[in-house]
Amino acid sequence: MLSTNRPMRRTRLGLLSLLALLTGAPAPAWAQAPSASALKSQAKAAAEKAQAKTKAPAPQAQELSDALKAPRPKGGEYFGLYLMDKKVGWFFTDLTALPGGKAQSINELTFKAQVGTRVSERVHREVRVYEAKPGGRLLSFTVTQRGDGGDQELVGTATAEGFRVVRKRPGQPDEVLKPLPAPKETVEDADQARVALLRGQKVEGVPLDGTDLEGYRTVTTLEAPEEQVLGGVKVKLSRVSTLSDKEKVPVAAFLTTDGKMVRVDFGQTMQARAESETVAKRMDLVEVFGLTRVVLPKPLPAKAREVPGQVKLVMKNLPAKFQQDTYRQKYKALPDGRVEVTLMAAPPSPRGRKPRPVADPDGGENLKSTLAVESEAPAILAQAKSIIREEKDAYTAARMLSAWVYSNLQKDYGASADRATDVLRQKKGDCTEHSLLTVAMLRASGIPARRVDGVIYMVNSDGVPALYWHEWVEAYVGEWTQLDPTFNQPVADATHFAVGYEGNAEITPLIGALQVTDVK
């Protein structure tokens, strides 16, 4: 209605004026010329209005966050990703201002390596949109995962209550996940390193992790600058260190005075190096099993395979934080800085076993359904129920679930899936898939459980005795016990050396550094 009324009104007034001019007749009263006094009053009012307009302050441009003020290369930055000096992937990152007072961050990672006899390739891309002002809220995110591990897209949008998240997977209906509470993440968390350098002080935030949609406290601190040779010229680089409560691995970033990030160190074995797009995307084909194994001076004794059983290893370059005594591992410091580790395996005590459901000694963390574990998914609940039926003893039920996974999953190294329902559907994978599905069904059955990361003893086709990186399961059945569904071990034998839980990157500093100097 407005679009037609306005031009009609202008046409009508024009016709009236033309008709009065042609006929010489007086115009209607509402169209007559104003008197001199009226003209004077109108002129005065117009002058006052103009003066007021002149004095009114011009609208202020919205202040931008320090994350957007900090200098950085235009068009984003590319990095080659190196594991023990072998190129295994590339990384792209960028942060830009958008119209409408918003900012957008893009982070994309591609990993490619040979896993056993297969080539594994994964792509993880995140696009986040924030308010561009200082402390600007996270408004939306899109997390895209492709390749090994399965394809999916998570689309999150801010609402009055928190965040609405939709998961999209090929060939499946879109799934609306449980609403997330409003994330504490701000635009400064998109680039804590440059914000810390711009402010000259520590920066702290709680960014949302794109793999599990949990917030983790992350702190970036300033470190002493370093001199390095770049392009044949010695330059002084600023250095910052970032530590997340999730990975617990210090990440050191090195930047030039004009804001270019030249290197990022993830512990001592992984490194991202600034490269052109063409060079960054040019990758080696690295066999990760052989590259990361820990070679032993001699084979382990047969008693290490027995249950009960034990074996002793003398290790070098094992940080003190990993030397925590448990029911399966005991540590003894040696005079030369090495440590003697006693690995033990035994079934849980009959008197310590409890019926299902079992209370979690960690307050419920090991019973929680997550984006990966999915223990509340109908398919996981139904499968677990069909296996254990009415079995009440928690350890017996745990053994049944582990044995079912061993028998029903095809051993396919490199055929990965990052979600328990995908593992159940495809029924194949390596140790991570076996462990993920077992933990999901254990939790679905009221048994607290978690995945264990570490190394296991193997002799591969080249005949070299070594420890290889592996994942298995720990369940609380009245007391903690470990099972290995990949090798059908109701009690994981003493050739297993645990160093972390749940795919935690805290073990990264051990890769390529840990050594075994003696076997007893």
Q: What is the pLDDT along the chain (520 residues), one digit of tens a residue?
A: 323 232 222 222 222 222 222 222 333 322 333 334 443 454 455 555 555 545 545 555 679 999 999 999 999 999 999 988 899 999 999 999 999 999 999 999 999 888 767 788 899 999 999 999 999 999 999 999 998 878 999 999 999 999 999 999 998 899 999 999 999 999 999 999 999 999 999 999 999 999 899 999 999 999 999 988 877 888 899 999 999 998 888 999 999 999 999 999 988 888 999 999 999 999 888 888 888 899 999 999 999 999 999 999 999 999 998 999 999 999 999 989 999 999 999 999 999 999 999 999 999 999 999 999 999 999 999 999 999 999 999 999 999 999 999 999 998 766 678 899 999 999 998 899 999 999 999 999 999 999 999 999 999 888 999 999 999 999 999 999 999 999 999 999 999 999 999 866 677 788 889 999 999 9
pLDDT of 40-86, one tens digit each? Answer: 454 455 555 555 545 545 555 679 999 999 999 999 999 999 988 89
**At which of 280, 310, 333 does a domain end?**
280
What pLDDT is recorded for position 37?
45
Are 149 and 274 in the same domain?
Answer: yes
Residue 43 lies in a domain: no
Of 105, 87, 88, residue with least CA distance to 96: 105
- Indicate the pTM of the whole model: 0.79
Return the CATH number at 275. Answer: 2.50.20
60 found inside a domain: no
The CA distances from residue 142 to 157, 421, 519, in Å, are: 9, 21, 49
Residue 55 lies in a domain: no
The H or E element that residue 146 is part of is strand 138-147
Same domain, 103 and 252: yes
Considering the domain architecture, whether residues 372 and 262 belong to the same structural domain is answered as: no
Q: Considering the domain boundaries, does residue 297 fall inside one?
A: no
CA angle 344, 349, 351 (to 5 degrees): 165
Q: Which residue has the tokens 């559907």?
A: 425
Backbone angles phi, psi at 23, to 5 degrees: -90, -15
Please indicate, yes or no, whether residues 254 and 350 belong to a single structural domain of this protein.
Answer: no
Q: Does 382 share its domain with 481?
A: yes
Q: How far is CA 168 from CA 129, 150, 177, 208, in A?
A: 19, 11, 10, 19
Alpha carbon distance 107, 92 (integer Å)? 6
DSSP-derived 3-state class of residue 281? coil
Tell me the three state secondary structure of residue 106.
strand
Cα separations in angstroms, 98 against 107, 108, 187, 259, 273: 16, 19, 13, 20, 28
Q: At what angle do helices 394-408 and 431-444 cross, to 10 degrees?
A: 140
Query: Would residue 12 count as lying in a domain?
Result: no
Q: What tokens does 317 get?
A: 């370059």
Q: Determine whether 451 is exposed, middle or buried from the number of CB atoms within 10 Å of its CB (0-12, 13-18, 19+).
A: buried
* Digit-coded pLDDT (tens) for 422-467: 999 999 988 999 999 999 999 999 999 999 999 999 998 889 999 9
The answer on 446 and 335 residing in a single domain is yes
Cα–Cα distance between 16 and 462 in angstroms, integer? 101
Q: What is the pLDDT of residues 5-17, one digit of tens each?
A: 322 222 222 222 2
CATH number at residue 425: 3.10.620.30
The count of domains in the chain is: 2
| Res 284: pLDDT | 80
Q: Are residues 273 and 349 in the same domain?
A: no
> Is 261 in the same domain as 353?
no
Same domain, residue pair 401 and 274: no
Q: Of the residues 280, 312, 332, which one is the last residue of a structural domain? A: 280
Asked whether residue 382 is assigned to any structural domain, the reply reads yes
Q: Are residues 156 and 274 in the same domain?
A: yes
Which of residues 280, 313, 332 is at a domain's end? 280
Question: In the chain, count of helices (H) and strands (E)?
Answer: 10, 25
pLDDT of residue 180: 92
Asked whether residue 393 is assigned to any structural domain, the reply reads yes
* In a shared domain, residues 322 and 414: yes
Domain housing 184: 66-280
**Both 95 and 213 in a single domain?**
yes
Residue 36 domain-assigned?
Answer: no
In this structure, what DSSP letter does residue 224 have?
A: E
Closest CA to 519 of 501, 490, 497: 497
